[in-house]
Copies of this chain bind each other. A is one copy, B any other.
Amino acid sequence: MDQSPFPDIAHQTASFSDGLVLDCGTTLQRLEVAYRTYGSLNAEKSNAILICHALTGDQYVAEPHPLTGKPGWWNALVGAGKPVDTDRFFVICANVLGGCMGSTGPRSRRDHGADEPWSIDFPAITVQDMVRAQKKLVDWLGIERLFAVVGGSMGGMQVLAWASLFPDRVFAAVPIATAPYHSAQNIAFHEVGRQAIYTDPDFHGGHYRTHGVIPARGLAVARMTAHITYLSEAALARKFGRRLQRQNALAAPVFGERFAVESYLEHQGSSFVRRFDANSYLVITRAMDYFDLAADHGGSLSAAFRGTKARFLLVSFSSDWLFPTAESRAMARALNQVAANVSFVEIVSDKGHDAFLLDEPDFHRTVAGFISGAAEAAGLQ
């Protein structure tokens, strides 16, 4: 496995010299928000859609990834003529705070002292901190109200945080395959991934960059674990089943690839480490674990959205066991209790959590319809 850290490349970035006060009490003296935009902002600045990315996503939502060369991660949904139509809307996507693609995070230079990266000492952040960083970008772009905020998984958590923190700044909110809190099972899977990273001898207590290495094996194991949770059992059975990669497997040694599903996971793990930073993985998974909107509002999820004027589209996928439909349904009920304008659609799919990233026509039609209706309500041409 390639042990060289991935390069620091140049990203389009907005810098904020006033920094950011974090939920944990620490103030980041410097804040950089790396972002990409697609389409044109109209004269009224009323056609902006913010896309929020998931745990391992980034700002390259609708164009090739600068490290991997792969198509944008949400090309299926975002682009010219797509449900989030860049011919019509000004689409913004920012790398989250704590990320490793240009926004302030563990790879950034620390505030005080030598010219060293934060690494493991980067402060603990919350999903709300991520959203506050995005809001600085939106303010800086001169956009008073986002037409829509759209995101899946951890991106959906950010959508919920946007609607809760800045209700007047969001006309429409589309939280997809997400939940208002991270469940015990999800925390448990994250913790296993983190422990795998700590176990890697190349982790060096988080200071691996100083040693010129990356904890590639541990990070790969974390990715593999997570990846299983992104798929449904049916999807795994259909894609791989019990197919073997080579004959006479029994006579082979205990090591090595055997079942196709193992080889697939190993590929997922080893390609991931070439584009993602282990300390970012630790910081961001922790932010997801902390997320609990109801707890932040005296135990009432409804209270998090009291008085909201945003219109919501909640989307879940029937075979998603990481963020099951029941959690979207609970959100819909909470929004109903404060008389919010809410639609809730469960898409039937056997592709698991991953479905939100895939070519799911029903899902795309649902989003396109909602956005088109909301645009009419907003008086957009």
Instruction: Tell me, yes or no, whether A56 is within 8 Å of chain B by CB.
Output: no
- Contact yes or no, A240 B184, CB < 8 A: yes
CA distance in complex: A238, B187 (Å): 14
Q: Are B201 and A201 in contact (CB under 8 A)?
A: yes
| A328 to B340 Cα, complex, angstroms | 45
> What is the CA–CA distance of A290 and B249 in the complex, to the nearest angstrom?
9
Distance of A236 Cα from B187 Cα, bound (Å): 10
Could you say which of A85-93, A143-151, A166-174, A189-197 contacts chain B? A189-197
Contact with A199, one of B200, B252, B253 (Cβ below 8 angstroms)? B200
- Interface positions, chain A 123-139, Cβ under 8 Å from B, are 124, 126
Query: Which residue of the partner chain, among B185, B251, B292, B295, contacts A237 with CB atoms under 8 Å?
Result: B185
Give the size range of A's interface with the partner: 35 or more
Question: Restricting to A305-335, which residues have a CB under 8 Å from any CB of B?
Answer: 321, 324
Measured in the bound complex, the distance between the Cα atoms of B206 and A97 in whole Å is: 40
Interface string of A244-266 (1 = CB under 8 A from B): 00000111111100110110011
Residues of B near A255 (CB, < 8 A) are: 120, 198
Chain B residues, CB < 8 A from A254: 120, 122, 124, 206, 282-283, 286
Chain B's nearest CB lies how many Å from the CB of A259?
5
Query: Please, which residues of chain B bring their CB within 8 A of the CB of A198?
Result: 217, 255
A220 at the interface (CB under 8 A from B): yes
Q: Given A242-B295, A251-B124, A292-B242, A228–B195 Cβ distance below 8 Å?
A: no
CB-contact partner of A250 in B220, B253, B290, under 8 A:
B290
**Could you tell me the distance between the alpha carbons of A241 and B290 in the complex, rounded to whole angstroms?**
12
A85 CB to nearest B CB, Å: 37
CA distance A290 to B120 in the complex (A): 40
Interface membership of A182, Cβ < 8 A:
yes
Instruction: Kindly identify, within residues 217 to 246 of chain A, every residue whose CB is under 8 Å from any CB belonging to chain B.
Output: 217-218, 220-221, 224-225, 228, 231, 233, 236-237, 239-242
Do A184 and B126 touch across chains, with their CB atoms under 8 A apart? no
On whether the beta carbons of A184 and B241 are closer than 8 Å, the reply is yes
Identical chains in the assembly: 2
Cα A141 to Cα B201 in complex, Å, equals 49
Q: Does A271 contact B (CB under 8 A)?
A: no
**In the assembled complex, A81 has its CB within 8 A of some CB on chain B:** no
Chain B residues with Cβ below 8 Å from A250 are 23-25, 124, 126, 290
B192 touches A228 (CB 8 A): yes
Q: Are A228 and B185 in contact (CB under 8 A)?
A: yes
Whether A13 is near chain B, meaning CB under 8 Å from some CB there, is no
List of B residues within 8 angstroms of A206 by Cβ: 254
Q: Given contacts A195-B220, A242-B181, A242-B184, are A252 and B295 in contact (CB under 8 A)? A: no
Enumerate chain B residues within 8 angstroms of A265, measured Cβ to Cβ: 188, 191-192
A-B contacts, 26 listed (Cβ < 8 Å): A25-B250, A25-B251, A120-B254, A122-B254, A124-B253, A124-B254, A183-B237, A184-B237, A185-B233, A187-B259, A188-B261, A188-B262, A189-B228, A191-B259, A191-B262, A192-B265, A195-B217, A196-B196, A196-B221, A199-B199, A201-B201, A221-B221, A225-B225, A242-B295, A249-B290, A254-B286
- Closest 10 CB pairs between A and B? A201-B201, A184-B236, A199-B217, A191-B262, A185-B233, A24-B250, A184-B261, A184-B240, A195-B221, A188-B228
**A183-B237, A184-B241, A191-B261 are known contacts; what are 18 more A-B pairs with Cβ within 8 Å?**
A120-B254, A120-B255, A124-B252, A124-B254, A183-B236, A183-B242, A185-B231, A187-B259, A188-B224, A191-B224, A191-B266, A192-B225, A196-B199, A201-B201, A206-B254, A242-B292, A254-B282, A259-B289
